[in-house]
Amino acid sequence: MASEVLQAPLVLEYPFTRSTGPVIGAFLTGLREGVICGIRRADGTVLCPPLEYDPLTAEPLTELVEVGQSGEVLTWAWNGEPRPMQPFDRPFAWALIRLDGADTSMLHAVFADSPSDMSTGMRVRAVWRSEREGHIADIAGFDPDPDPAGLS
Amino acid sequence: MADDPLAPPAALAGDVTVPPAVAGAEPVQSVCTPIRLSYTYTPGRALSRYLQAMAGKRILGERCGVTGQVFVPPRGVSPLAGTTTAGVVELADTGYVDSFNITRVPIERRPDLKPPYCSAWIVLDGASVGFMGLVINIPPEEVRIGMRVRAVWKPDDELETSAANIGGWEPTGEPDEVIDDYERLGRVGGQQP
């Protein structure tokens, strides 16, 4: 006996709330206040986003420092079909962005109109949400920087 | 004390310095990071039959041709014998509470589940395994292992091809099952292959 094939939407969702600890907490506090923090290693280099432990020596890291709000795209990938809850509802680029004053890169979205507007080494600038709560999404994304020399 | 192995590391003890823009601000201590997986679920033939029967307020299981065990919900195979099932069995919508849990903490986005409520592993008459259901129309404190229950179906005009057609299980008032022979009770032909 043939029977109709059934289908139904199935959503699995976990509303996690995580404790941040003082390092990630300070990074998120900074985002809420509109600044971006990295953390300084013993050799003076700065990790952004900050880590609690040095990835090479495993030393605890404690000195959070402010970094710039513009930076350089180190690598990128085009996201042609954004999914719900991603940073933008139309195609955009995911990029690893090394902010000025930092030595490592942060993953975030770049609001470019097409892949041809993206290139490694391009300058981008953070776009802030007007209402911020202490979350990585307080940075809506990064715009290609029309004024890379910062002269305006 | 740096040598104290139980001392929390500096990075977690709050012993960090922050730039001025952050120093005076109320510190963020937690962050919501919801995880969401959105599927289109296709139940397959055995479960589709089961769900379609649900629309008619019938509960279908499947019988293992090797052991005679009856599984519900049916999956098309016998998990013990490893064979395809031998046939479909219609089960009663009555059974007993095999084990249960009382939940006193609300679940976000499930306002329909008002604590305290009782979820139970219910073994249908004629079935060899239990399945999950809510025990309703009785204070949770009075639920007990062995209590006889029957399905409370949704109104006919709300029936769908869904296990949610059973809104819960209520006491029948019959004497409790005496569970002194765990392998026998409700478990037809419980011999392993």
ipTM score assigned to the predicted complex: 0.82
Q: Do B17 and A64 touch (CB under 8 A)?
A: yes
**Chain B contact present for A137, CB below 8 A:** no
pLDDT in tens, A27-39: 999 999 999 999 9
CB contact under 8 A, B49 and A21: no
More confident residue, B153 or B38: B153
Is B23's Cβ below 8 Å from some Cβ in A?
Answer: no
Mean pLDDT, chain A, integer: 92
Contact A6 B52 (CB under 8 A): yes
Contact A64 B18 (CB under 8 A): yes
Q: Looking at the complex, does the CB of residue B4 fall below 8 Å from at least one CB of chain A?
A: no
Predicted local confidence at residue B185, as pLDDT: 44
In the structure, what pLDDT confidence band is assigned to residue A85 with cuts at 50, 70 and 90?
confident
pLDDT of residue B182: 56
Q: Which of B22, B34, B39 is the closest to A33 by Cβ?
A: B22
**A25 vs B contacts (CB less than 8 Å):** 27-29
The candidate with the shortest Cα–Cα distance to B96, out of B45, B150, B164, B19, is B150
Phi-psi region of A69 (alpha: psi -120 to 50; beta: other; left: phi over 0): alpha
> B184 pLDDT exceeds 60?
no
Please report residues of B whose CB lies closer than 8 A to that of A2. Answer: none
> Are A18 and B49 a contacting pair at CB < 8 A?
no
Task: Count contacts between A and B (CB, < 8 Å).
Answer: 143
Q: Give chain A's radius of gyration (CA, Å).
A: 19
Sequence ranges of the domains in chain B: 44-180
Q: Find the CB nearest A19 among B18, B30, B52.
A: B30
Which regions of B72-135 does DSSP assign to beta strands (E)? 87-91, 94-103, 117-124, 130-135
Q: Check the CA dihedral A41-A43-A44-A48 and report its sign.
A: negative
- Statement: residue A112 has pLDDT above 50: yes
Cα A6 to Cα A37, B46, B59, distances in angstroms: 51, 11, 17
User: Is some CB atom of chain A closer than 8 A to the CB atom of B105?
Assistant: no
The verdict on A6 touching B (C-beta cutoff 8 Å) is: yes
Q: Quote the pLDDT of residue B110.
A: 85
Q: Which residues of B touch A63 (CB under 8 A)?
A: 16-17
Rg (CA), chain B: 24
Q: Is residue B154 less than 8 Å (CB to CB) from chain A? A: no
**How far apart, in whole angstroms, are the C-alpha atoms of residue B183 and residue B175?**
20
CB contact under 8 A, A37 and B22: yes
A-chain residues near B18 (CB < 8 A) = 26, 29-30, 37, 64
Give the CA distances from residue A138 to residues A83, A106, A108, B123, in Å, rounded to whole numbers and listed in that order: 19, 14, 11, 50
Per the listing, tokens 């649900």 go with B54
- In chain A, residues with a C-beta closer than 8 Å to the C-beta of B53 are none
* Residue among A8, A28, A65 whose CB faces B41 most closely: A8
Q: What is the pLDDT of residues B109-123, one digit of tens each?
A: 788 899 999 999 999
